[in-house]
Structure 1
Amino acid sequence: MPTSPSNRRSLLPTSLLLLLPFLLFLSAPTPSAAQVTVYGQIPLAQTISIDPSATDAPVDVQPVPTLAAYDETLLTPPPIPNPPPATAYTLELQREAANVNGLSIPHVGGGFFGYSVEMSVINQVMGKNSSFIQVPFLNLMANIEERAGSVLIRLGGNTQEYATMVDELPNGNALAKEDSGTKATTETPAVLYTKDLFYIAGNISTMVNVKWFVGIPFNDSANWRLAIAENAQEVLGDNLLAMQAGNEPDLYARHEKRPSDYTFYDYFGEVGDLIQHIDANDRIPVKNNLLAPSLATGDWNPEDIWNIGFLEAYIDRLWAITMEHYPTNNCFAQFGVGSPQDPQTNFPSYLTHNAGIELIRIYLNTSRIAAEAGKPFIMFETNTASCGGFPGISDSYGAALWALDYGMQMAYSNFTYAMLHVGGQNVYYNPFTAPPTNQTAFNQWTVGAVYYSTLIMAELFGKSNTSRIVDLWGNAGNVYTPSYAVYENDVLSKVALFNYVDDPTGGSDLTVGISVPGAGVPNTIRVKYLEASSVSVKTNITWAGQTFGNKYEVDGRLRGELNVTTIQCDRVANVCQVPVKAPGFALVFMEDDEAISIGQATQTFATTARTRSHNTATVDQQVLATSNGHSGKDRALNGIGSTSVGSVSAATRLRLLQGGVLTVVVGMVGVFVLIMR
């Protein structure tokens, strides 16, 4: 089996790495140098410039605009609706699924929400190369795996279309960017990558059960670049689920990626041509795992594709039917294209049950078609707004409520999965963000509000592969207080309760009665709450009393004590009364469930470094020689213990796909040196 190129430089000892920032400061240039830029923490994400030759001159402060991912904008919460929703209502629920109309198809694992990682930022989010994996990323994925059994990640986006494989890149990088020449709204860079990109993904899958989607470059259908398909299948094996054939083809003409007269007929033909090239390529053994048509539902509708016989022609080649859609865009602010959008004006539209309903309405026919064809139906890329999202909305507690409601509405409408998009530091909507490269020496990661939504959705559906969901339309159908029920193994399992109203007085807090016919309520129920002080805040968000921390504080592990509320039910009145704050979200467990006791994942990848022997992991070269990335889940490596002192051992899961040292644990008191080589 192939291994990635052995052109890595040796790692510096950890003790030296930890001292590097200080050594660099002490060895600052002589007065002949102009300035040294120091990246300080006041304010965060800004810089000051200091002239080292000036002994008593005041510091020359030159602020740089705050990056979008760390934007401090706080919006004003919408007023209390007029008329306000009733503050008390009762849900009459059936215990048996057979008595419930409108239940979704069973949800099949993976946590429902996965992540769509823009190809150009893979090195920031996942790791510089296959021997250098980002520890906070592993911890965040482990938390989803603990709840859902696996995590789904798509590597791609607009930048996949111009991706080109090269033999090697400077400084051991697996990925780099250059100008693609496109001047469309996305200003898509060309991504250069090496085969090591797939070893990054493969090594992650040896530690956390991550399954992958990749995208075949589609910018030049006259000269197909199939290296992504060849190498992803070779290296990832069973951990590769499927490959995308075209990303938002209905926007190709508008974004000048195709002639202005490009139509869905042209896309139909290009997919057929791609299939012919795949069939003729012996290095692509799996030939029926494509994803299409991945429309943005911008210039075409799904029915435009279905009406020309696309599915009839290609259904046997598709792993899933895919779409990509955002509720709106912020492209004018980013690129000067389209209409200006005011975040404050848009904010209320996210804080209503109608938001998700309107987003998926156009896909209801397609979800039916997919179910009848026996194919998964995936919202392959989505988030709060395209072109990076909105300041004050995309990273707010309100966005977490929106994503939860949207996700549940998609699941109720028979979507199989949905992928929340992840960009770089220049977007507002990230579920998680690595610190800027120039701040990795003193800042940790940032978790966005919508990551909590992905965590909760993983708990909602669990691992049984039997969970079905129904929209209850409780409280007389009030759009500010939606509710859902989940049935697992055909029995009422969980109830999800929302309160979009922002009212610090407590006057809009809800009390929701849950009743089950035949004196069916249990003696007690357990409740987990997603809490924050307002829909507009970005900090101090907690799930069941735990938090990942605020901006620049995150190592991917939950902090604080798990707090699950126990509520005594009135068996005589046959009702359980559940309080929900304004704003708030409650996940009610109607029976025993392993998710009740899940807080921080049992497997962690700690970020406290002591000595090199404690923060690196080596691999048996004999194991490496027979590794192909998908057969060693239950193999133990001799001589490898825990990846950090005091943490749960990952020895039975750590099987590297590339030789040398895999660095997964570094840092002390908030100092990260994960990308220093």
Structure 2
Amino acid sequence: MLPFQLLLLGAALSPAHAITVYGVQGVLQGAPTAGVTASATITSDTAAGTAVNDPGNYTGDAAFNPVILAAPPIPSPAPPTQFTVQLPNNAQNQPGLSIQQDGSFLGFSIEMSVVTQVIGINSTFLQVPFLNLMALVAERGGSVHIRVGGNTQETATVVPSLPDGKMIEKDKGDSTNPTQTPALLLTPELMYMMNNVSALINVKWYLGIPFNDTSNLRLQIAEYGEAILGDNILGFQLGNEPDLYVNHDHRPPGWNETNYFEEFGLVINAIGQDSNIPVKNTLIAPSVSGTWSPEDVWDTGFIPAYQNSLGALAVEHYPDDNCAAAFPDAGFGAPKDPQTVFPEYLNHNAGKDIVGAYIDSTNIAQQYGKPFLMFETNTASCGGFPGISDSFGSALWGIDYALQMAYANFTGALMHVGGVDDSYNPFTAPPTNMSQFEQWTIGPIFYANLVVAEALGTSGTSQVLDLNMNEGNIYTPGYGIWENGQLARLVLINFMTDPTGANSYTTTIQVGGVDGEANATPASVRVKMLAAESVAVKENITWAGQTLGNRFAADGRLSGDEEIQTITCDQTQNTCQVTVPAPGVAVVFLTDEAFAESEPSTTQTFATTALTKTMNTATVPASVLATSNGNSGADRDSLTSTSKGSSGAGRAAVGAPGIASLIALLAGMYVFASAVRR
């Protein structure tokens, strides 16, 4: 049997950079690319505190917008730049630590309607940059958790097949819905594709079950998900932001938390009677977004009533929205000015203010023995803010926010990924009309996933503490991480931008020497830096000296020589000094074991030499892509569960994998659907 082919919509050509950019970076000087009508003039001073870009009348794809904002000025008074942090070596001597956390803590939420752009066309056509990116995170944190769902899951229906072998097809969007979410048809090929990703990389999945019509339930996503994904499925979200159903015309006026409680019970009863859903206790809920608080739902008796069906409790939260700009005719009022909003993301209170509202719920979740998830989040809803959501500042915000959630006993968080209409994407494929000469664009916020994965490691025993260092200054936060009961790593953040270096800060670290502990500062520490010229820049970002490339230049692999600082400590004085640039993040590894665990010994990569052609493709043996769940092409005439104690008897037939769609694509006939806005 010939090996399956993993194909990429990408290219080997790097984008050109010019002073005057037509449409987006990556387009050569001259006539704009078809469909792009704007131009923007860019100057070179990105760190001096003044705006460096006039976006003019930019009307291109938001994911590639040229907007660069001004970095906020140094606060007045400026924070101290010399201070000491003294910490016990033993976790038992440090009160206030979080529960034990996994390196997979920070994952991704991918809008269901854009999976063909992001993950793959079908089970035999996987997007290679996506595989490379997931491998980077998995090898640092042990695994990657991904949710496929969002607004589009609510209108999703599984059908046996679609014309031309398509895996997903969108119906016209509901014009009355503020997010213009399309109805979605999908085939079981979606789950086969997801499972083939898991055969290559340690990726685990969440899926969404439609909840838009509880009088006509559609549980096929759960049926197929259980049968095809088996142990690779983590759970099923039932109801995405139900507190917004009335606003989105999914429920009549007056529909409330009690109605939600009652309808949730109807679905649980239906699942209980569905022999094709053998696992009954993996539902994720209530996934409220802030119009209702989680306490509004808990007060209905939700958790005790349904605890045997719940795999995890969850919420969704965006700290702000850009809806007025994204949907100017939807009654959201005047658009917000990103330059004015930018400073709100660049301090420690940004994450603390979000997380503080959920402390009671994380405590309740522990009382019931349930994980508590931030199931969907990012910088701002309705696609994010150009210049904020795709800036280096978003990476700093994402790291601080994620570690604040871990400290507050969330058990996971998922950064949302939309389509080309969104500025906040951790990664974006090039538009179809550019796929033969451009590669992927990696959003700065993706670096947050790398840093958090390395900071928490692969042991599953990491406990997090907000250090409240530098007298609690909000521009210089830090976290301590104890692993297997011992202080293992520090994460030090500097939100300020100062090209002179005057506001870089130096932390004097002391380990032990308190509460009867002996001095325990090591002879040396190793440090990795996340660095860029300014919080406002979108490119030239490095993690330990390596980069994923600039816009339209990424294949999902880190490039450049790795740079790891080794800092000699003074064990006589029990001190070790680490300097954090303005802006930047330092991850300090205090033990050889902590460093070895987070530093990948080998990097799994997938070749990216293919365009939309059949030549020079990356290949993987069919025995690997067939997966461990019995999902070879020869066996797809019926569903067979991999869950303990169940069988595939009586399940609906499944057609052969989407070979027709592959042929159509290779003939140049496949056109990506437009992305849904979030």
Q: Which band: TM-score by shorter chain?
A: 0.7 to 0.9
Report deviation, 1:185. Answer: 1.4
Maintained 8 Å contact 1:376/1:416? yes
User: What TM-score results when the alignment is normalised by the length of structure 1?
Assistant: 0.84
1:91-110 mapped onto 2 (5 Å cutoff): 91-109=85-103
Q: Secondary structure at the match of 1:365?
A: helix
The answer to whether structure 1 residue 271 and structure 2 residue 264 are counterparts is: yes
Residue number in structure 1 paired with 2:421: 426
Report deviation, 1:190. Answer: 0.7
Distance 1:113 1:13 in 2: 26
Distance 2:187 2:315 in 1: 28
Report deviation, 1:453. Answer: 0.2
Maintained 8 Å contact 2:145/2:203? yes
Residue number in structure 2 paired with 1:555: 555
Which amino acid is the alignment partner of residue 549 of structure 1? G
1:23-62 mapped onto 2 (5 Å cutoff): 41-42=27-28, 46-48=32-34
Report percent identity of matched pairs: 49
Report deviation, 1:615. Answer: 3.0
Which amino acid is the alignment partner of residue 88 of structure 1? Q
- Which of these residues, 60, 64, 68, is aligned with residue 62 of structure 2? 68
Distance 1:13 1:409 in 2: 38
The answer to whether structure 1 residue 303 and structure 2 residue 306 are counterparts is: no
Residue number in structure 1 paired with 2:280: 287
Residue number in structure 2 paired with 1:483: 478
Distance 1:18 1:102 in 2: 47
Residue number in structure 1 paired with 2:84: 90
Which amino acid is the alignment partner of residue 559 of structure 2? R
Residue number in structure 2 paired with 1:322: 314
Maintained 8 Å contact 2:106/2:412? yes
Maintained 8 Å contact 2:35/2:60? no
Report deviation, 1:139. Answer: 0.4
Residue number in structure 2 paired with 1:508: 503
- CA change 1:498–1:630 in 2 (3 A) is farther
The answer to whether structure 1 residue 523 and structure 2 residue 523 are counterparts is: yes
- CA change 1:367–1:562 in 2 (3 A) is same
- CA change 1:214–1:359 in 2 (3 A) is same
Which amino acid is the alignment partner of residue 174 of structure 1? M
- CA change 1:561–1:360 in 2 (3 A) is same
Q: Secondary structure at the match of 1:526?
A: strand
Residue number in structure 2 paired with 1:138: 131
Residue number in structure 2 paired with 1:619: 622
Report deviation, 1:331. Answer: 0.4
Structure 1: tracts of 5 or more residues without a match: 1-9, 22-38, 51-62, 633-656, 668-672
Structure 1 window deviating more from structure 2 (261-270 vs 178-187): it is 178-187
Q: Secondary structure at the match of 2:397?
A: helix
Structure 2: tracts of 5 or more residues without a match: 14-24, 37-56, 644-655, 673-678
Maintained 8 Å contact 2:504/2:582? yes
- CA change 1:230–1:11 in 2 (3 A) is closer
Q: Secondary structure at the match of 1:497?
A: strand
The answer to whether structure 1 residue 439 and structure 2 residue 434 are counterparts is: yes
Maintained 8 Å contact 1:510/1:579? yes
Maintained 8 Å contact 1:239/1:630? no
Distance 1:530 1:443 in 2: 26
- CA change 1:556–1:662 in 2 (3 A) is farther
Distance 1:551 1:614 in 2: 23
- Which of these residues, 329, 332, 335, is aligned with residue 324 of structure 2? 332
Structure 1 window deviating more from structure 2 (516-525 vs 363-372): it is 516-525
Residue number in structure 1 paired with 2:215: 222
Which amino acid is the alignment partner of residue 619 of structure 1? A
Report deviation, 1:508. Answer: 0.6
The answer to whether structure 1 residue 244 and structure 2 residue 237 are counterparts is: yes
Maintained 8 Å contact 2:284/2:314? yes
Residue number in structure 2 paired with 1:532: 532
Which amino acid is the alignment partner of residue 491 of structure 2? A
Report deviation, 1:188. Answer: 0.8
Maintained 8 Å contact 2:5/2:619? no
Maintained 8 Å contact 2:167/2:658? no
Maintained 8 Å contact 1:558/1:600? no
- CA change 1:436–1:659 in 2 (3 A) is closer
Maintained 8 Å contact 1:511/1:578? yes
The answer to whether structure 1 residue 183 and structure 2 residue 172 are counterparts is: no
Q: CA RMSD in A?
A: 3.1
CA displacement, residues 108-145 of structure 1 (integer Å, 9 cap, x when unaligned)? 34x21110000110110011111111000000001111
Q: Secondary structure at the match of 1:427?
A: coil
Distance 1:662 1:583 in 2: 46
CA displacement, residues 379-423 of structure 1 (integer Å, 9 cap, x when unaligned)? 000000000000100011111000000000000000000000000
Residue number in structure 2 paired with 1:498: 493
Report deviation, 1:254. Answer: 1.3
User: How many aligned residue pairs are there?
Assistant: 604
Maintained 8 Å contact 2:140/2:600? no
- CA change 1:531–1:674 in 2 (3 A) is farther
Residue number in structure 1 paired with 2:46: none
Q: Secondary structure at the match of 1:367?
A: helix
Maintained 8 Å contact 2:166/2:661? no
Which amino acid is the alignment partner of residue 577 of structure 2? Q
CA displacement, residues 582-603 of structure 1 (integer Å, 9 cap, x when unaligned)? 1111000000124577369521
Distance 1:611 1:68 in 2: 31
Distance 1:81 1:41 in 2: 37
